[in-house]
Structure 1
């Protein structure tokens, strides 16, 4: 891991028409991470990524990439960065290989990188087909191949699985997961798909309405959400009354009593109390929160991404 983060922003803000599209965002992306930038459509993800590439000028705040100020060292930073923002750009009348050659000249990358990049995204057998004849997934892979041409230290991808079928999503997911270990590439990708971030990212930043609500490792995020325990009984009303008398605070949900978190010995004690009071315990369940549950807890918004 490098001494300084690969990407570091402080107070990053972008204002349009008096409204903050991105509001005081502080991202920290360390070397070797797959950093998932998660949030609903319109949360500010694409605007943030465009600012990281110098495509949009921030209203306020600072951006450092590779420890260098983006405002002062943008050409050098971009030479070490690959990106795919919003959708792939390509010439439909050219083949995949010809499109790669155009990009190779623009990036001043070695010609030998073309075949290597096409092989990584598994397009080597389709490189002589015109890009207009590619499926949506193949076009997305071509865009990623172009972003990999210079074998960058940092790869920024905006919604890389957007619009793909399950097979295409799986292909892109496995491709991205291979990049840090096999090629030493740090990946920063945005997505509104909770399940994808959960399966692919090592670290995550959750953004909503332009504000960064959470940032940390995926492991820490899961650990922050303690499992709830549910007791299903034959007499939930009496069970609740008995437990309230003994200082417990269950939440009644139908024929279940739910506790936010209990240690194993407390689960055993509650079970014993109910049995001693002749209240049959039908089932004890542990319910772990999904990433979507955690997201809804953070944002307080009753909506699925």
Structure 2
């Protein structure tokens, strides 16, 4: 696979504190790369360095196989972005704002109309942007980033301000971009459920350090399922299962057993019933992406 973005020990220091510390990102062509972390983790700072909006304190950025510092104009001509919040002229209409970007990007009229249609603003294009809802402004920002139909699209928290229906629309849009338009997407978010649903690859950053990078399948493989069983006498059930080579742990009125297959679960159930212990409930528990994140960072903190 072709590498679209590669950073080598990318760092950004403010005073004595590192906001980004030796981050090595790798984004492949056709990826929807989810850049995940809590607020203040260093996501936006990293994206700004990828776009030349912030100067790295150390390390190197390579995009499309070319070092950013030496090929800035060429790289940016093939990159679209929305960082933190969209910029617009509130007294102009959506279409007039798009025309400004059109001139800057030197793209045909068709691109403008296609981008507005993709984000479903084609019916609101003649309305002043100052009268747009927060979600509509966010969609306009994405349309501006899409207007040149770039090879790389970088979106920083693109679902901010959107209602559930709008979030679903943007999710579908982002998922379609690699296949429909050949656009590789790097999307940052603190919304774990969103990243889980749209990303093919993921990077997890916390306090400026990249803690995990790989495919979504690889991350989810860390979520080993467990079986939770509730009986009429968990203490007696625990002793019985111990005698048969299992290692249940009692937690929150449940017996938790790791890595049991269906046959082993059925066997444990028969064992308990045979000993006169009624099994009230059997559940499969799997770690959520949020739980994996908290375990990777080692911190019980709000995302």
What's the counterpart of residue 233 of structure 2?
A: 235
Paired residues for 1:1-305 under 5 Å: 1-2=1-2, 5-305=3-303
Following TM superposition, by how much is the alpha carbon of 1:12 offset from its aligned partner in structure 2, in angstroms?
Answer: 1.1
Structural RMSD (CA)? 1.5
Q: Does the 8 A contact of 2:42 with 2:206 survive in 1?
A: yes
1:189-220 Cα offsets, whole Å, 9 max, x none, are: 10000111111111111111111111111122
Q: Which runs of 5+ in 1 are unaligned?
A: none
The runs of 5 or more residues in structure 2 that have no matched partner are: none
Q: Distance in 2 between matches of 1:164 and 1:120?
A: 16
Partner-residue secondary structure (3-state), 1:62: strand
Q: Is the Cα–Cα contact under 8 Å of residues 235 and 255 in structure 1 kept in the other structure?
A: no
Distance in 2, matches of 1:96 and 1:132, equals 9
Instruction: Tell me how far apart the structure 1 counterparts of residues 252 and 80 of structure 2 sit (CA, whole Å).
Output: 53
Is this contact kept in 2: 1:234–1:255, CA < 8 A?
no
Q: Distance in 1 between matches of 2:301 and 2:246?
A: 31
How big is the shift at 1:277? Answer: 2.8
Q: Residues of 1 paired with 2:85 and 2:170: CA distance?
A: 14
Give the structure-2-normalised TM-score. 0.95
Which range moves more in the overlay, 131-140 or 79-88?
131-140
State the Cα distance separating 1:278 from its structure 2 match.
Answer: 2.6
| Secondary structure of the structure 2 residue equivalent to 1:99 | helix
Alpha-carbon shift at residue 121 of structure 1 (Å): 1.3
**Aligned residues between the structures:** 303
Is 248-257 or 97-106 further displaced after alignment?
248-257
